[in-house]
Amino acid sequence: MAKATKKQALGRGLSALLKDPENDIKSAQDKNADKVVGNIVELDLAAIEVNPFQPRTSFNEEALEELATSIKELGVIQPITVRKIDFNKYQLVSGERRFRASKLVGLKTIPAYIRIANDQESLEMALVENIQRQDLDPIEIAMSYQRLIDEINLTQEQMSDRIGKNRSTIANYLRLLKLDPIIQTGMRDGFLSMGHGRALININDADAQLEIYEKVLSDSLSVRETEKLVKSWHEKKSGNKKSSTVTVPTKVKKSMKEFSDYFGAKVDVKVTKKGAGKIIVPFSSEEDFERLTKLIKGEA
């Protein structure tokens, strides 16, 4: 207990140091920066603003209330992380749920780790730390990965090193962003799992993708059942392609050989179900084309 009280007192002492305008810490090289950066400091909630780079865009109200109740009884066990952006002004890097829940129960201060970073570093920290520590839905994780690629210029290999995930795992998340926005919303709302999304992404027809998505929801299909449905769709599509193939009549086939012999090139014929068609005569060069032209004109 004495150890915890000492730690809390230290945090409050550092908090007072940060409120001294004559010794404002703006960089890691400033006086007393080593006492603050990386340490737990009690910060005023009013001095902290929400991070615009936060990948989480929705918060479960019931879960937030539960966290608020826990904080009311036990306090904030895990400090949030902030970056200093001005005198006595901070921006969240990670811990927005704890930040929101603390405000819900009326706390005035919150324990925080302080970092000094520029916008790009802050964005990377926010994305990486949230991916690792927060219970993000699959689409939020995918969007975070995409932002690391687009805004931090990380390759999938570099990302793999930063967040400790296999490249194949990262690639699977990124593929989810190719799903129809309606399906992405369904995943964010918890109607579909990542397994469902990975099955549906194999449907390259947008209308068919949505049709199967609606069936998955209405029939409460499992991931395995969804995979079977997708497989069935592919087999049906493949069957339709085969059935649309028209057999070239025997008489036309015989004529094709005569055409090929006459033109000195392998002639192809396309025939429709109605009996119409076209003859394709290939040529290998401009000189060959002139040769075929003379044959057609009867000049050869």
In this structure, the number of other CB atoms found within 10 A of the CB of residue 163 comes to 19
Gap between the Cα atoms of 184 and 276, Å rounded: 45
Q: Is 277 helix (H, G, I), strand (E, B) or coil?
A: strand
Rg (CA), the chain: 32
Tokens coding 149 = 């690629």
Contact 42, 53 (CB under 8 A): no
Length of the chain: 300
Q: Give 196's contacts (C-beta < 8 A, 6+ positions apart).
A: 187, 216, 221, 223, 226
CA distance 194 to 140: 12
54 backbone dihedrals φ, ψ, rounded to 5°: -55, 120
* Residue from 42, 96, 124, 140 carrying the catalytic annotation: 96
96 is catalytic: yes
Whose CA is closest to 10, among 33, 35, 37, 28?
Answer: 35
Name the residues annotated as catalytic.
96
